[in-house]
């Protein structure tokens, strides 16, 4: 692979990751991640793969930001995720 091709591919990959921003150790509802943090519903479904919530509605999950741009540690909210005015203070 030519160095310029590698650089271009790396730049594209990094650009996609840079669009997804969340604060580590904060919790988020799906609506906030999609509306203002750059995530898509597909990203949320991917975060559930391999967990017991793989087939759950992504909107019924509380997501924990593990790294800037990475979510995990899903928690099921049977009555839906509850937004709050303070960022990162979401709950079930």
Confidence band for 41, pLDDT divided at 50, 70 and 90: very high
**Into how many domains does the chain fold?**
1
Confidence band for 89, pLDDT divided at 50, 70 and 90: low
pLDDT > 70? residue 18 = no
In a domain? residue 85: no
In a domain? residue 18: yes
Integer Rg of the chain from CA: 15
Provide the domain limits for residue 18.
3-76
* pTM, 2 dp: 0.75
Report which of 39, 32, 37, 23 is spatially closest to residue 85, judged by C-alpha positions. Answer: 32
Of the ranges 18-22, 29-33, 44-48, which one carries the lowest mean pLDDT score? 18-22
In a domain? residue 66: yes
């Amino acid at each position: 692979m030519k160095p310029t091709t590698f650089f271009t591919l790396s730049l594209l990959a990094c650009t996609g990751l840079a669009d997804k921003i969340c604060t580590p150790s904060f919790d988020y509802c799906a609506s906030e991640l999609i509306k203002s943090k750059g995530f898509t519903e597909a990203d949320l479904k991917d975060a559930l793969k391999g967990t017991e919530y793989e087939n759950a509605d992504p909107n019924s999950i509380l997501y924990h930001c593990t790294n800037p741009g990475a979510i995990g540690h899903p928690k099921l909210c049977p009555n839906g995720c509850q937004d709050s005015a303070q960022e990162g203070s979401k709950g079930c």
